[in-house]
Amino acid sequence: MPYPAKNTPQLIDAVLSRIALGETLAALGRELGFHPTAWGMWVRADEALAIAYGQARDLGADAIAEEALALIDLEPPRVEGRIDNGYVQWRRAQVDTRLKLLAKWSPKRYGDRATIDVGNKDGEALRVESNIDNAALMVQLAEALRSQTPKP
């Protein structure tokens, strides 16, 4: 499918409003007939569009987070009186995928942030910040402390 080379106000409005609803740029490009690379060039060339796009992305991230919450809140179907475990795992995978994407797309708002303060004998503090999960951070910290400890 050939992609149009120029943007229009109608196309810009459609993309921004649907990005704010949580739709992806790639899916919109396929449906509305523009290439995501062209969109990137338009955004870089127009500061007002860049600001509007950033705001739409923030709103879209919130919409995806709300969608994840709605997915996990759905009552699972029952099979012979028991909850369908396959359905529960499927829903969990959907929610986990959305949350992981949000953490990558918007780490300041949706990423896992861990901060640990460790002091030495002189009272100086070592501050460790990371966007990884707490368990992995604790393992790394323990390994670093073990390597600093003199062996008898």
130 by DSSP, 3-state: which? strand
On average, the pLDDT of the chain sits at 83
pTM of the predicted model as reported, rounded to 2 decimal places:
0.67
pLDDT band at 107 (very low <50, low <70, confident <90, very high): confident
Count of CB atoms within 10 A of residue 1's CB?
Answer: 5
Instruction: Name the more confident of 121 and 112.
Output: 112
pLDDT band at 42 (very low <50, low <70, confident <90, very high): very high
The letter for the amino acid at 20 is A
Residues 11/32, Cβ–Cβ less than 8 Å: yes
Residues 38/5, Cβ–Cβ less than 8 Å: yes
From-to residues of CATH 1.10.10.60 in the chain: 9-110
pLDDT band at 2 (very low <50, low <70, confident <90, very high): low
In this predicted structure, the answer to whether residue 95 has a pLDDT above a threshold of 60 is yes
Question: Residue with structure tokens 């127009």?
Answer: 46
Residue 24: exposed, middle, or buried by beta-carbon count in 10 A (0-12, 13-18, 19+)? middle
56 by DSSP, 3-state: which? helix
In this predicted structure, the answer to whether residue 102 has a pLDDT above a threshold of 70 is yes
Answer whether CATH 1.10.10.60 is correct for domain 9-110: yes
